[in-house]
Amino acid sequence: MPKQILGLALEATSLTLVRLSGSLKSYEVTLATHHALPQHDDPQEQVTLQQEAVHAILAPLQAHGDTVLVALPASHAVLRNLVFPFKEPRRIYQVLANSLDEHMPFDPEDVVVDFQALPSVKATDTRVLVAGMPEAVIASALALCQGEGLEPTVLDLDVCGLANAVLLGGPPLPTRTVLIDVHHERVLLTLLDHGTPVFARSLAYGLDPEAEDIAGYVGRLSKHLQQTFYACDNVLGHSYEPELLVVSGGYGVQAMQVAYALQEALEIPANVWRVAAPALKVGSGRGAVPELGRYAVAFGMALRGLQRRAFGMNFRRERFALYKDRQELRGPFIVLWCILAVALGLGITTLSLSTHYKAQRYARLQEDISQAFRDTLPGTRLVQPTVQLREKLRELEERLKAFGGMSGAQLSGLQILHEISVRTPPALTLNVDTIAITTGTTDFGGSTDSYDDVVKLKNALEASPFFPVVKITNTKTDVGDKISFKMTINTSKTPGGSS
C-alpha cells in the first residue's frame, strides 16, 4: 500500500495542506488545498472557531492513517546562526538553549530549541542554524492536530519546508540561490549555498492577493532582501552574491509579476518555482501540480516525510517528544516476539540435529572399535577395548623382544645363550642356576670353584662385542667351598654396544 504523507503549513490566519501518496522514487499529489482560518478578538473564541474550522477541513479527508508533518511560522521563532567549538550533537543540545538566551525575548525554560548542522570552515567547529520556538506555540499547534486525531511526527519551520520543496521537488539550482515565498501575511526568505540553507528569515511583509501596485511592493521588498544579504555576509564571513531568485506563493500571476519586478530591481535572474521532480507521477493530483507554487511550504513538509535526510528541525522534543502508547507498540512487539520465537526454534532445531548426527557418528565409531577388537582378540570379552588392546600389544612386544624385537635392537635369547656359552673359558667349572633374559639386560647366577673363576668369567664375557658391560652383583662362599655369584650383562646386537 502506498505511503500517505500529509504536509500542513499552519499559519495564524490560514491552513495549507498537501498530501502525497507513494515513495520518494515515485509519488503522486492527491491533495493540494488552502483554507483561511477564522479570526476573533477574543483569544478563547478564536481557538474555538479555528478548531471548528480545522475539523470541517480535516474530517472529510480521513487522514488518521497518514504520516503528518506540520510547518510552524518562523515568525514565532528565533532563528540564529551559531558556531560551537565541538561537534558532538549531545554537547550542542546541552548548551543550545542558553546560547540563544541573549538572542530571544523568551525564558530559555519556556522554549524548545533544535538545530540543523551547516558546513563548517574549521574541522573542529560546528556551524549550526538554531531555532527556538515558544512552548505555547507548539502546544497550540499540537492541540489543534490532536483534536482531529492526528499525531504529527515532525513540527518544523515554514522556512525549512520551503527549502525542501525547492531542493527535493525542483530542478538543480545554482550555487547561491535565494528562495522567496510570498504570502498575504508574511514573506519567507531562505538563502542556499551549495544546496544547503545557510540563512533564513520570515518578514511580516505580506502581499495582499488583490494588490495592484506590485512594483511598489517589490521596491520595498528588495530593500529587505539587500539587508538580508548583508546579514548573511556577516554570518558566513564572506560576500554572498545570489545567482538566482526563485519565487513561490502568490495568487494567479502575482508570483510571475513579483519575480519579474525583483529581477528588474536587483538585477538578479529570477523565475517562478515549478515542480520538476522525475518521481512525480501523472495521476489524479496532476491537475494541481502547476499551481503547487502556492502550496510550496506544505509540499516541502510532505516531501520531508518521504526523504529521511531532508533539511529541517523537529520541535517534538523534550516534553513534546513523540511517545507511542501501548496499543501502537503492541504490533511491533508482537512482530519482534515472533521473530525471536522463530530464531529460538531454529536454534533448538539446529542443536537437536547436530546432537543427533554426533550421536550417530559416535555409535558408528563404537561399532568399528568393537569389530576391530573382535578381529584382533577373538573370543575375548569386550570390557574396555582400548585398554585391553593396549595390554595385549604390550604383551606381544615383550614376547617379541625375547627374539630380537621387530627392529632387531638386541640379540635374541638363543643368541645370548650361545654367546655366553662360546665366551665361557673351557677350563672353567661353571654351574648355572638361574638366567633371566629381558630387554637390554641378562641376569644369571651360578657357582664356580673360586672367586678368580668368577672374575675370569666376567673378563671373558666382556671380551664379547655384544656384551659392552658385565657386572658382578653378588658373590658368596657356598657349600663345599664353592663360590656362588650373580652377574648382570648389558646386551646389544650391534658390536661395541651401539644400538
CATH of the domain at 265: 3.30.420
pLDDT tens by residue, 486-497: 999 988 666 655
Instruction: Give dist(CA 472, CA 17) in Å, integer.
Output: 120
Question: What are the cell numbers at 264?
Answer: 528588474
Residue 406: inside a domain? no
Residue 177: inside a domain? no
Indicate the number of domains in the chain.
4
Supply the DSSP symbol for 239: -
Residue 175: inside a domain? no
Q: Are residues 83 and 192 in the same domain?
A: no
Q: Are residues 165 and 312 in the same domain?
A: yes
Q: Are residues 161 and 28 in the same domain?
A: yes
According to the model, what pLDDT value does residue 287 have?
A: 45
Residue 178: inside a domain? no
The predicted model gives 382-395 an average pLDDT of 80
| pLDDT confidence bin for 326, thresholds 50/70/90 | very low
According to the model, what pLDDT value does residue 120 have?
A: 78
Q: Are residues 77 and 132 in the same domain?
A: yes
Instruction: Give dist(CA 434, CA 255) in Å, integer.
Output: 131
Strands 27-36 and 187-193, bridge-based pairing: unpaired
Q: Are residues 259 and 295 in the same domain?
A: no
According to the model, what pLDDT value does residue 284 have?
A: 47
Q: Are 246 and 271 in contact (CB under 8 A)?
A: yes
Q: Select from 323, 350, 385 the last residue of a domain.
A: 323
The DSSP code sequence of 308-351 is TT-S------GGG-----HHHHHHHHHHHHHHHHHHHHHHHHHH
| pLDDT confidence bin for 289, thresholds 50/70/90 | low
* CA 374 to each of CA 371, 380, 396, 409: distance values in angstroms, whole numbers, following the listed order: 5, 7, 17, 31
Mean confidence (pLDDT) of the chain: 85
Q: Are residues 67 and 153 in the same domain?
A: yes
| pLDDT confidence bin for 374, thresholds 50/70/90 | confident
pLDDT tens by residue, 80-133: 888 888 888 888 888 887 888 777 777 878 899 999 988 877 778 888 999 999
Residue 499 has pLDDT above 50, yes or no: no
Q: Are residues 200 and 83 in the same domain?
A: no
- The residue length of the chain stands at 499
CATH of the domain at 14: 3.30.420.380
Q: Are 35 and 15 in contact (CB under 8 A)?
A: yes
Q: Select from 271, 287, 304 the last residue of a domain.
A: 271
Q: Are residues 157 and 280 in the same domain?
A: yes
According to the model, what pLDDT value does residue 370 have?
A: 82
CATH of the domain at 442: 3.30.1360.100
Pick the residue with more confidence: 376 or 269? 269
pLDDT tens by residue, 400-411: 665 555 445 567
Q: Are residues 71 and 99 in the same domain?
A: yes
Residue 264: inside a domain? yes
Supply the DSSP symbol for 382: P
Q: Are residues 55 and 164 in the same domain?
A: yes
According to the model, what pLDDT value does residue 229 have?
A: 93
* CA 344 to each of CA 337, 352, 489: distance values in angstroms, whole numbers, following the listed order: 10, 12, 73
Q: Select from 349, 368, 401 the last residue of a domain.
A: 401
Q: Are residues 225 and 364 in the same domain?
A: no
According to the model, what pLDDT value does residue 71 have?
A: 96
**Domain limits at 430?**
413-497
Residue 176: inside a domain? no
Residue 325 has pLDDT above 80, yes or no: no
Prediction pTM value: 0.65
